[in-house]
Structure 1
Amino acid sequence: MDLRQLRYFVAIAERGSFSAAASALNVAQSALSRHMKALEQEMGGLLFERGRHGIAISESGKILLDRARYMLGEIDNIRAEVSLENREPGGTVRLAAPSTLADILFAPLAQHVARRFPRVRVQFSEGLTEELCGRVLRGALDLALVTTPQRNEHLDYVELFTEGVYLIGAPDDPRMRTRSFTPGAVAALPLILPLSEVGRALLPERPACAFRVDNMIPLKQMVMAGLGYGFLPYSGIHQELAAGTLAAVEIPWIRARRVLALPRDRPTSRATREMVAAIKAVSATLIADGRIRCVTSRPISPRKR
Structure 2
Amino acid sequence: MELRQLRYFVAIVDHGSLSRAALVLHVAQPALTQQLRQLEEELGAQLLHRSAHGVLSTDAGKVFYEHAQAILKQVADARSAVTQSTTRPSGSVTLGLPHSISGALALPLLTAARTTYPEITLQLTEEISGNLIEQLKSGRLNLAVLFDDGQLGGFEATPLVEEDLMYICRTDSLSKPRSASIALAAALSNTLILPAQQHGVRPLIEAAAAGAGLALTKLIEINSIAILKSALLADMGATLLPLAPLRAEIDSGLLAATPIENPPIRRSVTLCASRNIPLTNAAAAISRLVRQVTEMLCANGAWPGARLRE
Structure 1 stretches of 4+ with a deviation exceeding 4 A read 81-84
Compute the displacement of 1:150 (Å).
4.0
User: Does 2:181 match 1:180?
Assistant: yes
User: Does 2:209 match 1:200?
Assistant: no
Contact conserved, 2:184 with 2:260, CA < 8 A, in 1? no
CA distance in 1, matches of 2:148, 2:240: 15
Deviations 1:147-195 (A, max 9, x none): 2344244212110010111111011124323322223212211111112
Q: Identify the residue that residue 10 of structure 1 maps to in structure 2.
A: none
Q: Identify the residue that residue 237 of structure 2 maps to in structure 1.
A: 228
Q: Which has the higher mean CA deviation after the structures are superposed, 144-153 or 226-235?
A: 144-153
Deviations 1:213-265 (A, max 9, x none): 22222212211110111122122222222210101111241112100111012
CA distance in 1, matches of 2:158, 2:254: 34
CA distance in 2, matches of 1:110, 1:95: 11
Deviations 1:80-108 (A, max 9, x none): x9686222101111111111111221111
User: Does 2:282 match 1:280?
Assistant: no
Q: Identify the residue that residue 255 of structure 1 maps to in structure 2.
A: 266
Alignment partner of 1:258: what SS? strand
Alignment partner of 2:141: what SS? coil
Q: Which amino acid aligns with 2:280?
A: S
Contact conserved, 1:129 with 1:149, CA < 8 A, in 2? no
Contact conserved, 2:93 with 2:123, CA < 8 A, in 1? yes
Compute the displacement of 1:267 (Å).
0.8
Q: Identify the residue that residue 57 of structure 1 maps to in structure 2.
A: none
Deviations 1:33-80 (A, max 9, x none): xxxxxxxxxxxxxxxxxxxxxxxxxxxxxxxxxxxxxxxxxxxxxxxx
Q: Identify the residue that residue 7 of structure 2 maps to in structure 1.
A: none
Compute the displacement of 1:120 (Å).
0.5
CA distance in 2, matches of 1:258, 1:84: 30
Q: Identify the residue that residue 306 of structure 2 maps to in structure 1.
A: 294
Kindly tell me: are residues 296 and 152 of structure 1, through their superposed partners in 2, closer, same or farther at Cα, counting changes over 3 Å? Answer: closer
TM-score when normalising by structure 1: 0.66
User: Does 2:113 match 1:113?
Assistant: yes
Gaps of 5+ in 2: 1-80
Gaps of 5+ in 1: 1-80, 298-305
Kindly tell me: are residues 168 and 296 of structure 1, through their superposed partners in 2, closer, same or farther at Cα, counting changes over 3 Å? Answer: same
TM-score when normalising by structure 2: 0.65
CA distance in 1, matches of 2:89, 2:149: 29
CA distance in 1, matches of 2:162, 2:292: 16
Contact conserved, 2:193 with 2:237, CA < 8 A, in 1? yes
Between Structure 1 and Structure 2, how many residues are aligned? 217
CA distance in 1, matches of 2:221, 2:287: 31
CA distance in 1, matches of 2:99, 2:121: 21
Over the matched positions of the two proteins, sequence identity in percent amounts to 24
Contact conserved, 2:295 with 2:308, CA < 8 A, in 1? no
Q: Identify the residue that residue 41 of structure 1 maps to in structure 2.
A: none
Contact conserved, 1:234 with 1:291, CA < 8 A, in 2? no
Q: Which amino acid aligns with 1:91?
A: G
Q: Identify the residue that residue 139 of structure 2 maps to in structure 1.
A: 139
Deviations 1:110-138 (A, max 9, x none): 11111111111111111222221111011
Q: Identify the residue that residue 148 of structure 2 maps to in structure 1.
A: 148
Pick aligned residue for 1:265 from 276, 281, 284 = 276
CA distance in 2, matches of 1:179, 1:220: 22
Compute the displacement of 1:277 (Å).
1.3
Contact conserved, 1:93 with 1:271, CA < 8 A, in 2? yes
Contact conserved, 1:187 with 1:207, CA < 8 A, in 2? yes
CA distance in 2, matches of 1:208, 1:83: 56
CA distance in 2, matches of 1:115, 1:202: 36
Q: Which has the larger radius of gyration?
A: 1
Aligned residues: CA RMSD: 2.1
